[in-house]
Amino acid sequence: MATQQPGHLHHLPNREQNIFYILVLIASPLINLFINSIVYAEFSLAASKGLHTFTLPHQALGISSFLLGSILVLFGINLAQTLMLRHHKARHSFLIFGIFSSAYLMINLLTVSYGILAVKVQSLLLLLISGCIYVSVNIIFVFWYWYVDYPTQIKHLHNPEIETEITFPEREVGDGQPKWLPDFVDYVYLTVITSNTLSPPENHSPGGQRAKAITMMHSLSMLVILVFFVSRAINTLS
C-alpha cells in the first residue's frame, strides 16, 4: 500500500483537505442564493411600482437560479459524504461541482448587471451585493487554484523535474529541496491579493497554461465588479 500512495496523492490530496475545500466551496452557491433573493425582491418591488415589467421569462430565470443554487448545495453536501468513503475517486465530481458553481456565479453577475440597467439597483444595496459577489468570486478561485495546482505540487514533490502550475516563493526557501506544499492559507493569500490588485502577489508565478487562464479570468471578473458594480454604487450614494 505504501508504494501506491504517491499515485493516489497526485490524483487528489488527503481526505481531510478534500472535505474542507468542498465545504468551503459550498459557501459560494449559498452566497449566490442570497444575492438571488435580493435581486428578485428588487425586481418584484420595481414591478409593483410600475417601474419595470416582471415578465414570465424573468420569473422563469429567477426560479431556475434558485433551483440551480439549491441543487448545487445538495450536490456539494453529497460530494462531501462521498469523499469520506472514496476520496481518491472523486476528482471528476470536484470538477463538475466547480464548473457549475462558477457558471452560477456568472449567471448572477449577468443578473445583477441587468438589474443595474433595467431596475436601477443602486447605492447601499448594490454595495452589499458587490461585497457578496466579491466573497463568492474569491471562494470560487481559491478552489480553482487549488484544484489545478495542488496535484502538480504533489507530483513535483516526488519528481522535481515536473513543473508546478503555480510557483510559490516558499518552495525555494532553505536547501532548495521541494519539501514544502501549499495549504489553504497560501491559496487564499494568492486569491485575495490577485482580487485586490488584479495581478498575482510578488514571487507567485502562474507558469502553467491552466493557471494562467484561471488568473486571467479571475482578474477580468474582479475588473467587472470594481468598474461596473462598485463604481455604480459609489456614484449613486448621493
Average pLDDT over residues 184-190: 91
- Answer whether 211's CB lies under 8 Å from 99's CB: no
Has residue 12 got a pLDDT over 70?
A: no
So what's the pLDDT on residue 40?
A: 74
pLDDT at residue number 142: 93
pLDDT cut 90: percent of the chain above it: 13
pLDDT at 46: 66
pLDDT at position 197 is: 87
With 90 as the cut, is the pLDDT of residue 193 above it?
yes
Residue 17 predicted with pLDDT over 90? no
Q: Which residue has the cell 443595474?
A: 116
Query: How many structural domains compose the chain?
Result: 1
Q: Which residue has the higher pLDDT, 30 or 93?
A: 30
Q: What is the pLDDT of residue 1?
A: 34
Q: Give CA angle at 62 (192, 106), nearest 5°.
A: 30
pLDDT in the model for residue 138: 93
| Phi then psi dihedrals of residue 120, to 5 deg | 60, 45
What's the rounded mean pLDDT across residues 198-219?
A: 88
| Per-residue model confidence as pLDDT tens digits over 20-43 | 777 888 888 888 888 877 777 777
Q: Helix, strand or coil for residue 205?
A: strand
Q: How many other C-beta atoms can be found within 10 angstroms of the C-beta atom of residue 31?
A: 21
Residue 54 has a CB neighbour count (10 Å cut-off) of 16
Between CA 140 and CA 95 the distance in angstroms is: 12
Residue 66 pLDDT greater than 80, yes or no: no
Close Cβ partners of 180 (under 8 Å, ≥ 6 residues apart): 168, 170, 171, 173
The predicted pLDDT at position 4 comes to: 37
Q: In the prediction, which pLDDT does 205 show?
A: 84
Of 226 and 197, which is predicted with more confidence? 197
Mean pLDDT confidence for 106-130: 73
Question: 205 forms bridges with which residues in the sheet?
Answer: 167
Place of cell 502550475: 165
pLDDT mean across residues, the chain: 76
For 88, the domain range is 2-235
Q: What is the pLDDT of residues 130-177, one digit of tens each?
A: 788 889 999 999 999 998 998 888 888 888 888 889 988 876 654 455
Q: Residue 97: in which H helix or E strand, if any?
A: helix 91-118
Q: What share of the chain is helix, strand, coil (3-state, %, to 5)?
A: 75, 0, 20
**Of the listed ranges 20-34, 118-132, 181-195, the one predicted with least confidence:** 118-132
